[in-house]
């Protein structure tokens, strides 16, 4: 479908199985490369969408030496944003519990920054989805933490898992963005790349 991309070897630089699954849905051939241990710190003055945009571009820079004229690289980063605070991946289960308690009965934003890059061109964009959580009991949070892996997910949750079924009251924007890749927007950007 994306005829303009046939000349490229497309690389998704990500450790996320969800991003891999979503990109697969576009029916384009690609390979996955995991990001080497990358310092995911960012300047403290950055706010909201500037954070995942910065990190997606930082990830793309880690692959500069691997790019050639036939390579198209896709990198992404997702954060949860609530009360002017960034919730990335929790460091441990205690932090995951704190994040889920913080999200309980509140609306938050899920923001994904994406960078598409070749040796000649770079395009970055972001997508925002608003998610309203129901009130979570301590038992529900404990159940999720025991039965699922919150440590590899921004905000400590996967919308496609049990907590998404039971806690998400409503959503505005792309569901796939909440999973970690705004795939419809990515498709449009790749079409015009």
DSSP string, 95-106: HHHHHHHHHTT-
Average pLDDT (67-78) is 95
Residues with catalytic annotation? 77
pLDDT tens digits for 136-185?
999 999 999 999 999 999 999 999 999 999 999 999 999 999 999 999 99
Domain 3-191 has CATH 3.30.450.20: no
pLDDT tens digits for 1-54?
688 888 999 999 998 999 999 999 999 999 999 866 788 899 999 999 999 999
Burial class (CB in 10 A: 0-12, 13-18, 19+), 45: exposed
Say what the pLDDT of residue 39 is.
Answer: 86
HSE-CB at 120 with a 13 A cutoff on CA atoms is 5
Rounded distance between C-alpha atoms, residue 156 and residue 19, angstroms: 16
Task: Quickly list DSSP for 6-38.
Answer: TTSEEEEE---HHHHHHHHTTT---EEEPPPS-
More confidently predicted of 127 and 34:
127
Burial class (CB in 10 A: 0-12, 13-18, 19+), 175: middle
Q: At what angle do helices 138-147 and 93-103 cross, to 10 degrees?
A: 140
Tell me the domain boundaries of the chain: 3-191
Please determine, for residue 190, whether its predicted confidence score (pLDDT) is greater than 70: yes
Closest CA to 142 of 101, 103, 107, 102: 101
Coil, helix or strand for 88? coil
pTM of the complete model: 0.94
Say what the pLDDT of residue 66 is.
Answer: 82
Least confident span in 64-68, 125-129, 130-134, 186-190: 64-68
- DSSP single-letter state for residue 159: T
């Amino acid at each position: 479908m994306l005829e303009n991309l046939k000349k490229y070897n497309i690389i998704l630089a990500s450790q996320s199985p969800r991003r891999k699954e979503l990109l697969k849905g576009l029916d384009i051939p690609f390979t996955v490369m995991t990001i080497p241990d990358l310092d995911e710190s960012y300047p403290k003055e950055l706010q909201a969408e500037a954070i995942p945009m910065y990190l997606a571009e930082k990830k793309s820079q880690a692959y500069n030496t691997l790019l050639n004229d036939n390579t198209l690289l896709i990198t992404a980063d997702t954060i949860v944003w609530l009360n002017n605070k960034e919730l990335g991946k929790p460091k441990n289960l205690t932090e995951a519990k704190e994040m889920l308690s913080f999200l309980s009965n509140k609306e938050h934003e899920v923001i994904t920054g994406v960078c598409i890059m070749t040796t000649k061109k770079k395009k970055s964009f972001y997508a925002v989805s608003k998610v309203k959580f129901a009130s979570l009991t301590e038992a529900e949070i404990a159940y999720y933490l025991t039965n699922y892996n919150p440590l590899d997910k921004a905000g400590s949750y996967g919308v496609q898992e049990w907590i998404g079924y039971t806690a998400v009251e409503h959503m505005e924007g792309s569901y796939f963005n909440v999973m970690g890749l705004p795939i419809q927007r990515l498709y449009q950007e790749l079409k015009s790349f």
